[in-house]
C-alpha cells in the first residue's frame, strides 16, 4: 500500500513539473546588463554590434527605457532585479550616505535589499540561478555566483574579494581551469576589454554546464570608456564590439548545449550617458554658510550634499532641523543667475514621486553638460570632460536601451518607451515565477500570446 502511495505522489509531482514547464514561456532567461547602454547602439549603423542588432530586428526593442533617480549603477541594477524603485528596494545610491563621512563603501551585500528579488523567486520555485559581476549580489540567493565586490583595503586587490564571496566555493577556480586561465588584474581588468571577454566566457561555461533557469550578467566596458571619452569616443566603439562579442559567446554556448530554442535573451542597461564640460561643487556653499567643514568627515556638520553621478542629494544631520534647511534654500536662492541657470532643485515631493531616497530633503539636478561634484574645496565651477550619468531621467540621452529575443518573445516589434522597473515582470512571466514587482508592470506587446 505504501509503495502504491509513493508512486502516486511521485506521479503527482512529475505532473506538476510538466504543467509548470508548459506554463513557462522559457526555460532559461539570460539577463545581460550593459552598463551605460544606449538605444542607438542597436539602432545606428556606425556601432559594431551584429548580435545585438540581429536580436533587435528579430525580437523586441525599445526606443528608450526611463531609468530611476539617480540614474547610477547600483540602484538601477537593483531595480532591474526587483521591479521596484529605490525608495522600495532600499539601494538609494552606489554608495550609502554615511553620517560620519564617506568611507568608500558601496552597497555590496544583497541583504541590504529590502524587497524580493528575482533570485529569491527562482529559488522559491526550485529553479536554478547564476550571476556574474552583478551589483549588490554578495550573499544573494544564487546557485552560481561571482559577485561584484571589492574592499576598502586597497592592498587586498580586486580579484580576491570575488573569490572570497563566490558561490559555491571553487567556482572561479573551476572556470580558470576549464576555460579562463588565471584571473588576475592583468587578465580581468576594467581598464581593458579583456574583462568583457572573461565575463562572456564565464557565462558561456556556466550556461553550458549547469544550465541555470535565470542568469544575470553585468558588462561594464561601455560605461568605463564613456566616462573617459564621452558618448562617441573611439574606445566606446571598441567597447560595444567587445560587449557584442561576449553576447555572441553566450549565444553560441546555448546553441552548443541544445537549449537555444528554450532560451530568452534580454539585453538592457542601467542608464544612458551625457557628455560634460563643467562641474559644480555645491558643498562649498554649505561650508560658506558654516553648515559643514572642509574636512573628509565633514567635521561639525549640519547639512551635506551627497553627490551621485551628476546629481547631489541634500542630507541633514538632524532631520527636524528646519532652520538649517531654510538656510540652505536661502543660499541657493541667493546664487547669481549665471550659476542658478545650470541646475534645478528637485523638491521632496518630486523625489517621493519618482521613488528616490526618502531621506533626502531635496536634490540638485544639473543641465546636460554640467555635473555636480562632491569636492569641498576649490572653485564653485570647474572644467570637466568625458561623460557621466546620474541625471533626473526625463530626457532621451540618459535613457537606457532594451532588446529581447528568443523563447516567448514577439517578433519584430518596437516599444516606444518603458520603465526600468518593467524588466523584472517580463522575466517573472517568462519563467512562470511567483513574484510581485512592486512598481513594475508586464508591458504589453513584448511577449508572445
* pLDDT confidence of residue 449: 87
Distance separating alpha carbons of residues 245 and 261, to the nearest angstrom: 20
Average model confidence (pLDDT) across the chain = 94
Q: What is the per-residue pLDDT across 75-128, written as a single tens digit (0 to 9) for each?
A: 999 999 999 999 999 999 999 999 999 999 999 999 999 999 999 999 999 999
* pLDDT confidence of residue 100: 93
Q: What is the per-residue pLDDT across 14-63, written as a single tens digit (0 to 9) for each?
A: 444 444 445 899 999 999 999 999 999 999 999 999 999 999 999 999 99
Cell triple for 423: 524588466
Look at the pTM and tell me if it is higher than 0.85: yes
Percent of the chain clearing pLDDT 70 (strictly above):
95
- List, in sequence order, the alpha helices (H) in 137-182: 160-164, 171-175
Element (H, E) at 283: helix 283-288
Distance separating alpha carbons of residues 277 and 368, to the nearest angstrom: 9
* pLDDT confidence of residue 75: 98
Provide the CB-side half-sphere exposure for 80 (13 A, CA): 32
Q: Which domains does the chain have, with CATH numbers?
A: 25-272+394-430 (3.40.720.10), 278-384 (3.30.1360)
Amino acid at each position: 500500500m505504501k509503495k502504491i502511495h509513493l508512486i502516486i505522489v511521485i506521479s503527482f509531482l512529475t505532473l506538476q513539473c510538466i504543467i509548470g514547464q508548459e506554463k513557462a514561456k522559457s526555460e532559461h532567461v539570460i539577463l545581460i546588463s550593459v552598463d551605460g547602454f544606449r538605444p542607438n547602439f542597436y539602432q545606428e549603423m556606425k556601432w559594431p554590434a551584429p548580435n545585438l542588432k540581429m536580436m533587435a530586428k528579430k525580437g523586441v526593442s525599445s526606443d528608450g527605457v526611463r531609468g530611476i533617480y539617480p540614474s547610477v549603477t547600483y540602484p538601477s541594477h537593483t531595480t532591474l532585479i526587483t521591479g521596484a524603485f529605490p525608495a522600495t528596494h532600499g539601494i538609494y545610491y552606489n554608495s550609502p550616505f554615511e553620517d560620519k563621512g564617506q568611507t568608500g563603501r558601496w552597497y555590496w551585500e544583497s541583504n541590504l535589499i529590502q524587497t524580493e528579488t528575482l533570485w529569491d523567486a527562482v529559488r522559491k520555485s526550485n529553479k536554478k540561478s547564476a550571476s556574474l559581476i552583478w551589483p549588490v549580489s554578495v550573499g544573494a540567493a544564487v546557485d552560481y555566483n561571482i559577485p561584484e565586490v571589492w574592499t576598502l583595503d586597497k592592498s587586498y586587490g580586486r580579484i580576491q574579494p570575488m573569490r572570497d564571496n563566490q558561490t559555491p566555493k571553487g567556482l572561479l577556480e573551476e572556470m580558470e581551469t576549464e576555460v579562463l586561465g588565471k584571473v588576475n588584474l592583468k587578465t580581468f581588468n576594467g581598464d581593458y576589454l579583456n574583462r568583457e571577454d572573461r565575463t562572456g566566457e564565464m557565462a558561456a561555461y556556466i550556461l553550458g554546464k549547469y544550465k541555470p533557469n535565470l542568469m544575470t550578467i553585468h558588462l561594464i566596458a561601455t560605461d568605463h570608456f564613456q566616462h573617459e571619452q564621452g558618448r562617441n569616443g573611439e574606445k566606446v566603439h571598441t567597447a560595444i564590439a567587445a560587449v557584442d562579442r561576449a553576447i555572441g559567446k553566450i549565444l553560441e554556448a546555448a546553441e552548443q548545449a541544445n537549449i537555444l530554442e528554450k532560451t530568452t535573451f534580454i539585453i538592457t542597461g542601467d542608464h544612458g550617458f551625457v557628455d560634460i564640460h563643467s562641474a559644480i561643487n555645491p558643498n562649498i556653499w554649505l561650508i560658506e554658510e558654516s553648515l559643514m567643514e572642509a574636512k573628509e568627515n565633514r567635521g561639525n556638520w549640519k547639512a551635506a550634499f551627497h553627490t551621485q553621478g551628476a546629481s547631489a542629494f541634500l542630507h541633514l544631520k538632524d532631520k527636524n532641523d528646519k532652520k538649517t534647511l531654510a538656510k540652505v534654500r536661502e543660499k541657493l536662492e541667493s546664487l547669481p543667475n549665471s550659476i542658478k541657470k545650470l541646475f534645478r532643485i528637485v523638491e521632496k515631493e518630486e523625489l517621493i514621486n519618482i521613488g528616490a531616497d526618502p531621506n533626502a530633503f531635496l536634490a540638485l539636478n544639473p543641465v546636460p553638460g554640467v555635473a555636480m561634484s562632491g569636492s569641498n574645496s576649490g572653485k564653485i565651477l570647474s572644467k570637466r570632460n568625458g561623460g557621466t550619468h546620474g541625471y533626473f531621467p526625463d530626457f532621451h540621452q540618459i535613457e537606457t536601451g532594451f532588446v529581447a529575443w528568443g523563447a516567448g518573445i514577439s517578433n519584430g516589434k518596437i516599444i516606444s518607451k518603458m520603465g526600468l522597473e518593467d524588466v523584472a515582470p517580463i522575466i517573472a512571466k517568462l519563467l512562470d515565477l511567483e513574484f510581485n514587482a512592486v512598481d513594475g508592470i508586464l508591458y504589453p506587446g513584448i511577449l508572445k500570446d
